[in-house]
Amino acid sequence: MTNPKTPLAEAPIPDHPLPDWSALRDIPIVERNDPLLPTSLSPGLATYPAYYKMGVPHAVDECFVRREVFDRLMLASQRLPAGMRLVVLDGWRPFIVQQYLFDTLINLLQHARPDLDADARYAFTRTLVSPPSTDPEAPSPHLTGGSVDVTLSDADGRLLDMGTLFDEASPLSWSAALEDPVHDDRYGEARVHRRILYNAMTGAGFTNLPSEWWHYDFGNQLWALHRGEPRAIYGATRPPGVERLWQHQLGLKGHS
């Protein structure tokens, strides 16, 4: 695919450091109670629940996001050049899936990088997977429905070259990694695709996790930290089941 002529491709991706993870807990959550919506119902978005397709245990076969996240994904999609589609790979993530991903990467690193001590393995793992947490004051970002993993495809559904695969454990997975001119020959087109994705998403109000070109946030503590917001609007949530629906309708809110 030739590089599209669009202003979104011109602005480089800033080289930001990782956030101060310890600061997340200090950001209060004032829950707005936006519902989770399935992205697969939108004709303006492509949905490919990557972890479910990869057979990750307990992964869901849908990508759920908060209502305003959904609306902002639509804005980002509308900003893309003709012939490109926004592909949603993951949204709300069950705690058990977060635990599986974190533990799996930690365990693999023990074998692949025996030179790393426990702290170094933890730090490396955290660049790709947030520690699983149901703490109401500091939940895992994907548990809030405010985190979303996205990529780009052409109009026919062919995934575009982004330089690395989704979730690839590589230094090149950092969002700004391809901005170095040394990568011009091999990754020039992928750099353009990353810029288009980054500028479309941040232009729609999302923030990006610097170590993952695919990860964006809105409304949760990670978003608030990046933007300097005084509070987050999304805490931990889950899709409503029929039991919760009936409890609400029957006035049994105190029951689980």
How far apart are the C-alpha atoms of 135 and 235, rounded to whole Å? 10
Interacting residues of 197 by C-beta distance below 8 A, sequence separation 6+:
150, 151, 152, 162, 213
Tens-digit pLDDT profile for residues 194-227: 999 999 999 999 999 999 999 999 999 999 999 9
Confidence of residue 4 (pLDDT cuts 50, 70, 90): low
Residue 253 confidence (pLDDT): 62
Helix (H, G, I), strand (E, B) or coil at 20: coil
Q: Is residue 215 marked as binding?
A: yes
- State mean pLDDT over 179-186: 90
Please name the CATH architecture into which domain 7-98+135-249 falls. 2-Layer Sandwich (3.30)
Q: Is the pLDDT of residue 157 over 60?
A: yes
**CB crowding 146-183: b at 16 or more within 10 Å, else e:** bbbbbbbbeeeeebbebbbebbebeebbbbbbbbeeee
Residue 206 · residue 217 · CB < 8 Å: yes
Annotated binding residue at 193? no
Catalytic residues: 212
Token pair for 118: 């426990």
pLDDT over 90 percentage in the chain: 75
pLDDT above 70 as % of the chain: 96
Name which of 214, 207, 193 is nearest 6 in CA terms: 193
Per-domain residue ranges for the chain?
7-98+135-249
pLDDT at 256: 44
In angstroms, the CA 41 to CA 37 distance is 9
Least confident of 126-140, 148-162, 168-182, 201-215: 126-140
Where does the pLDDT of residue 123 fall: very low under 50, low under 70, confident under 90, or very high at 90 and above? confident
